[in-house]
């Protein structure tokens, strides 16, 4: 520690002056004011993106496994609890219940706002299902995820094998051929 002279001209052997401390505190305050909004956006966006990537990856995996195993797979979702599980069409009721009891949870505070199914029915309570058939066709669905004020839309197209993602809430009813199109 070096010897310094303070503003008053006295020797200071014990540390920093009040002015130096106030300057450092002010600089930290400015940095926090600039960093907190962008950090908040990164943190909230990551939860939604993680949940959407999980659904997209699961849908692709189920399509592939349905063709390979020649069994229909069903992605079941409990909307109020933001949980999901996968069952096969050839499972016994006991096995289905066992798998349902081991549901997977979405990342913390991410909720399934609602789902638009193949019949254009919007569900926001109860359970919803997306069927991946052995002929590589998946039932059309629109899944709306939410994390606080942030929303994300996942659109599963039945015939294209392509899943679209929107960083906002988008209504997309299915037309007569089962294709999903924005309003």
HEC string of 38-57? HHHHHHHHHHHHHHHHHHHH
Residue 48's pLDDT is 86
Containing 90, the helix (H) or strand (E) segment is: none
Q: pLDDT tens for residues 109-150?
A: 899 999 988 888 899 899 999 998 988 888 888 999 999 888
Q: What is the mean pLDDT of residues 159-175?
A: 74
Q: 32-41, 69-78, 151-160, 173-182: which has the minimum mean pLDDT? A: 173-182
Average pLDDT over the chain reads: 82
pLDDT band at 177 (very low <50, low <70, confident <90, very high): very low
pLDDT attached to residue 183: 43
What is residue 96's three-state secondary structure? Answer: helix
What percent of the chain is helix, strand and coil (3-state, nearest 5)?
A: 35, 30, 40
Higher pLDDT, 90 or 47: 90
In this structure, the dihedral spanned by the alpha carbons of residues 76, 82, 83 and 88, taken in order and rounded to 10 degrees, is 10
Strand pairing report for 127-132 and 73-78 = antiparallel
Query: Which has more confidence, 166 or 24?
Result: 24
Q: Give the mean model confidence (pLDDT) for residues 82-94.
A: 92
What mean pLDDT comes out for the span 54-63? 89
Mean pLDDT confidence for 58-68: 90
Q: Which residue has the higher pLDDT, 61 or 15?
A: 61
Sheet strands (E) in the chain: 4-5, 11-12, 73-78, 83-88, 104-105, 111-116, 122-123, 127-132, 141-147, 150-156, 163-166
Above pLDDT 90, what percent of the chain? 39
Q: Give me the half-sphere count of Cα atoms (radius 13 Å) on the Cβ side of residue 31.
A: 6
What are the domain boundaries of the chain?
Answer: 14-166
Task: Please tell me the distance from the alpha carbon of residue 183 to that of residue 177, in angstroms, as a whole number.
Answer: 16
**How far out from the chain centre does Cα 105 lie?**
11
Residue 15 has pLDDT above 80, yes or no: no
CATH says 14-166 is which class? alpha beta
């Amino acid at each position: 520690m070096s010897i310094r002279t303070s503003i008053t001209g006295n020797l200071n052997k014990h540390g920093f002056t009040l002015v130096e401390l106030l300057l450092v505190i002010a600089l930290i305050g400015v940095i926090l004011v600039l960093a907190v909004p962008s950090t908040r956006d990164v943190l909230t966006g990551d939860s939604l993106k993680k949940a959407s990537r999980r659904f997209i990856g699961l849908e692709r995996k189920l399509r592939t496994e349905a063709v390979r195993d020649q069994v229909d797979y069903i992605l079941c979702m409990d909307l109020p609890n933001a949980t999901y599980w996968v069952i096969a069409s050839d499972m016994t009721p006991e096995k289905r219940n066992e798998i349902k009891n081991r549901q997977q949870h979405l990342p913390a505070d991410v909720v399934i706002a609602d789902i638009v199914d193949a019949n254009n029915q919007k569900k926001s309570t109860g359970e919803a299902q997306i069927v991946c058939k052995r002929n590589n066709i998946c039932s059309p669905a629109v899944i709306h995820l939410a994390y606080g004020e942030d929303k994300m839309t996942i659109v599963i197209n039945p015939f294209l094998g392509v899943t679209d993602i929107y960083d906002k809430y988008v209504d997309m009813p299915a037309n007569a051929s089962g294709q999903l199109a924005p309003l």
